[in-house]
């Protein structure tokens, strides 16, 4: 007998589902509330449903499709969650605590203190092969379902027993290559789980048609673009997909997004020593910020030497911190809204893909703080 997932269905789909199993339409709304708001793990707990209906559901339908198999906590409070999917594949999410020291100094402190940001995965692996990225070393295994995306939020929320205030689609994978499931998850989260679209950021490598599509979505969510260079040649060397989507078209699409949504996009910019941290790069970023009102998120590069494919990023080195500070200072002087990502979670492999890459390969959890690297998570600045 085929088991069907209910998690991942929207309100309308659950109402149709109720009708399709000869129940009243309002049962769909009840199911919606149980699944996304009251967070039960079994049909038995759905006390407002008749016992006969609960029994009917229990045999054929499934609520959860992911299981939390490991949690690591960093000294700074960043938590990394490893999940196993029903087919045994592994993904991860990272919870980023409030950190006033690293976020917008103009932001209200009480608001900052309450901010809890969860970084979500959207694919198992990723096909884009960015040369600096841990997830890329896995290759692409598959897209996550809507339910698997939503479950990351629900399971973490249940585990920490606190409200998650912000979401960033910045974990493993390229969200815009899993467009429909990502948008559906955002529809469910904003209508059923109490997180507003303006607190949700989708991060992309820069897929032009999808950026235009996002700009036209009914829900206005925030957008972050992994820019990393304003020179097509350098960008393509770092991110092969940039050969297909050149800067001229990409920036037009981002400009379009800003004009349609009135939301300032965030440009993410990993600093690589001698590659994209030169004077010319500063000038190009200043020029860009004059064209598109935006924020710039400077990210220190974390070498992916924890993987077995050291050669991939062999020629890339992090910009030394003094030089990074100078780079940032020059941008600030040009009145660019700028954040430098902190080193949160470094000790727990809190890099998108890092832990899951390890465990997908070895199929066991190995924790080796000294071998950590990768992305640090203080992504809360961008939301
Ligand atoms: N595919 C999406 C989202 C996942 S990557 C995207 O490209 O935006 C999330 C962010 O982490 C991106 O800005 C990415 O460039 C950055 N990142 C990936 N590997 C990194 C590393 N080794 N060090 C620092 N940042 C990294």
CB of 269 shorter than 6 A to ligand 1: no
The residues, any chain, with a CB within 8 Å of residue 303's CB and separated by 6 or more, are 313, 316, 317, 318, 373
pTM of the model: 0.89
Q: What confidence score (pLDDT) does residue 314 get?
A: 60
Atom of ligand 1 nearest to the CA of 374: 22
Mean pLDDT of 282-307: 89
Structural domains for the chain: 4-62 (1.10.150.530), 66-382 (3.20.20.70)
- Higher-confidence position of 202 and 369: 202
Helices (H), 232-292: 232-238, 247-261, 279-291
What are the pLDDT digits (tens) for 58-69? Answer: 888 888 889 999
Task: Tell me the pLDDT of the chain averaged across its residues.
Answer: 86
Does the annotation mark 92 as catalytic? yes
Tokens linked to 334: 């040009």
Least confident of 161-170, 201-210, 239-248, 368-377: 368-377
Output the CA 230–ligand 1 centroid distance in Å. Answer: 16
Distance from the alpha carbon of residue 198 to the mean position of ligand 1, in angstroms: 21
- CA–CA gap between residue 347 and residue 73 (Å, rounded): 9
Instruction: Give the pLDDT band of residue 341 (cuts 50, 70, 90).
Output: confident
Confidence label for 354 from pLDDT (cuts 50, 70 and 90): low
Do 378 and 113 meet the contact criterion of CB atoms below 8 Å apart?
A: no
Is 268 a catalytic site residue? Answer: no
């Amino acid at each position: 007998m085929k088991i069907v997932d209910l998690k991942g269905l929207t309100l309308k789909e659950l109402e149709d589902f109720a009708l399709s199993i000869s129940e009243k339409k309002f049962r769909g709304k009840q199911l919606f509330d149980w699944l996304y708001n009251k967070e039960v793990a079994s049909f038995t707990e759905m006390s407002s449903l008749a016992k006969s209906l609960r029994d009917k559901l229990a045999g054929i339908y499934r609520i959860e499709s992911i299981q939390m198999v490991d949690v690591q906590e960093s000294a700074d409070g960043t938590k990394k969650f490893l999940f196993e999917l029903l087919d045994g594949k592994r993904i991860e999410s990272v919870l980023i605590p409030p950190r006033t020291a690293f976020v917008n100094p103009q932001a209200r402190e009480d608001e900052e203190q309450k901010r809890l940001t969860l970084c979500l995965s959207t694919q198992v692996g990723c096909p884009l092969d960015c040369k600096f990225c841990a997830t890329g070393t896995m290759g692409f295994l598959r897209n996550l379902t809507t339910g698997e995306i939503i479950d990351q939020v629900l399971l973490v929320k249940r585990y920490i027993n606190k409200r998650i205030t912000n979401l960033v689609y910045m974990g493993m994978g390229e969200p815009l290559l899993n467009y429909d499931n990502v948008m559906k998850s955002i529809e469910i989260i904003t209508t059923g789980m109490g997180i507003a679209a303006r607190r949700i950021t989708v991060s992309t490598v820069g897929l032009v048609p999808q950026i235009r599509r996002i700009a036209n979505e009914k829900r206005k969510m925030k957008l972050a673009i992994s820019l990393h260079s304003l020179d097509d040649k350098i960008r393509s060397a770092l991110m092969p997909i940039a050969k297909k989507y050149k800067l001229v078209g990409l920036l037009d699409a981002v400009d379009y997004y800003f004009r349609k949504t009135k939301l300032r996009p965030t440009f993410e910019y990993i600093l690589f020593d001698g590659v994209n941290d030169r004077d010319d790069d500063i000038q190009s970023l200043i020029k860009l910020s004059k064209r598109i009102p935006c924020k710039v998120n400077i990210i220190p590069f974390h070498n992916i030497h924890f993987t077995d494919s050291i050669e991939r990023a062999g020629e890339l080195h992090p910009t030394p911190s003094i030089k990074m500070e100078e780079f940032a200072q020059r941008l600030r002087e040009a009145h660019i809204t700028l954040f430098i990502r902190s080193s949160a979670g470094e000790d727990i492999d809190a890099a998108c893909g890092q832990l899951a890459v390890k465990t997908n390969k070895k199929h066991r959890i190995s924790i080796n703080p000294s071998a950590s690297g990768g992305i640090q998570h203080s992504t809360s600045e961008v939301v």
